[in-house]
Amino acid sequence: MAVTRAKDSSVNTGTKYISFLAGNPAFTLASFDSIATTVAAGGETSITLSAIPQTYVALQLRVLSKDSVNATGTDYVDLRFNADSGTNYAYHSLQGSGSAASASGSATQNTIRCYYGQTRGGATLANMFGASIIDIHDYASTTRNKTVRSFSGADTNGGGGIALNSGVWLNTAAVTSVTLLSGGSNTWAAGSRFELYGLVG
Amino acid sequence: MAYTYEPIATQTLGSSSATVTFGSIPSTYTHLRIVTTYSFGSVNRIGVRFNSDSGTNYSNTWLTGSGSAAESFRETSMSYIFSQWSGVPVTNPSLTVFDIFNYGGSTNKTVLVSTSGDQNGSGRVERGVGLWRSTSAITSLTVNGVSQNFTSGSSFTLFGIKAA
């Protein structure tokens, strides 16, 4: 039998809505997804984010890190893709040390480097971390090599530096995992954060 | 429900002002991002402070390009996280982005700063890193025109980024 009338008296909660949302928030398609987060326990030589979905147009890593070495100063953060440790990478960097600007480039490397991406682990630098924003464009392509740009820096109130870095992985395979290594083959300090995001196309 | 990357609040100035404050920042995100387009009456610096801390608990390191030289600078024990050179005449606003990492964490706060401004004959591109030496969670922040007011029309948006 068809419904021909509804009466307020037959409704337990008499809330009237003008909008079909009925008090619920509008659904918004996400454009920037958090894929995975790893927080170092301390002592790891590398952190790998794997099983990366192939459904995004680009990836972004946000890293907040320091190493475990009892020293002052800063160090770099290295990247590899798909566990490739061969000399299939190259990178360039524009750096500021706090007193001078400089530039460098390196070919035929076994990582992509982000200079000034982390602080060292000395006691005077306790609770100070370096930061990096790393963009990997067109990571799911199977016809093009992979280009990376990053912006990294660490300030220790008297030391530190800032760097703009670019890099390339000379491989047309889609990126399915990213490995981050602490500079100088050192280990990560506890609390270092490694976050992977995907940009929705 | 917090989305991964979403605007928390926006302020657009209807008249000139020395400061713009975002208070009662939700603790539900992992990082914050401030995106500003702004002008001053003449060359000035934009800065940010946290939790009303006006002490000399901030420091900065920059890499800058002026159109004729690349340089790097450092300032220690300052009262802001700065961009070193910022906006000028009203018709060519500057853009500064502050990326504030792990704002709710119990470590000192690291901020990456990007500034771009071009006046068709002068200008600056800057990238910087700042440190707020405080282990407190950030619950408010104030964007300052250090010695001049932001002009009417300057806009400031605070975004939250939430990690998995």
pLDDT digits (tens, 9 = 90+) for A74-83: 999 999 999 9
Q: Could you tell me what percent of chain A has a pLDDT over 90?
A: 82
Query: Which residues of A fall within a CB distance of 8 Å from B71?
Result: 96, 100-101
Query: Which residues of A fall within a CB distance of 8 Å from B137?
Result: none
The residues in A 87-146 lying below 8 A from B, measured between CB atoms, are 94-101, 116, 127-131, 133
- What burial class does residue A27 get, using C-beta atoms within 10 Å of its C-beta: 0-12 exposed, 13-18 middle, 19+ buried? exposed
CB-nearest partner of A153 from B112, B162, B163: B112
Average pLDDT over residues A15-43: 78
The span from the CA of B22 to the CA of A132, in Å, is: 25
Verify whether the Cβ–Cβ distance A191 to B107 is below 8 Å.
Answer: yes
B107 has a chain A CB within 8 A of its CB: yes
Closest Cα of chain B to A60: distance in Å? 12
The span from the CA of B147 to the CA of B2, in Å, is: 36
Query: Residue B164's pLDDT band (boundaries 50, 70, 90)?
Result: confident
CB-nearest partner of B74 from A25, A62, A99: A99
DSSP bridge pairs for B94: B38
Query: Residue A11's pLDDT band (boundaries 50, 70, 90)?
Result: low
Verify whether the Cβ–Cβ distance A129 to B76 is below 8 Å.
Answer: no
The span from the CA of A142 to the CA of B162, in Å, is: 30
A19 has a chain B CB within 8 A of its CB: no
Tell me: pLDDT of B1 over 60: no
Least confident residue range of B82-86, B101-105, B135-139: B82-86
Q: What interface predicted TM-score (ipTM) does this complex get?
A: 0.94
Verify whether the Cβ–Cβ distance A129 to B1 is below 8 Å.
Answer: no
Verify whether the Cβ–Cβ distance B99 to A35 is below 8 Å.
Answer: no
Verify whether the Cβ–Cβ distance A128 to B108 is below 8 Å.
Answer: yes
pTM for this one?
A: 0.90
> Number of CB pairs < 8 Å for A and B?
132
Beta-carbon contacts of residue B94 (< 8 Å; ≥ 6 apart): B37, B38, B39, B46, B86, B87, B88, B115, B116, B117
Interface with chain A: mutation pick from B61, B78, B108, B113, highest number of A CBs within 10 Å: B61
Beta-carbon contacts of residue A170 (< 8 Å; ≥ 6 apart): A88, A89, A90, A145
Average pLDDT over residues B45-59: 97
Q: What is the pLDDT of residues A136-154, one digit of tens each?
A: 999 999 999 999 999 999 9
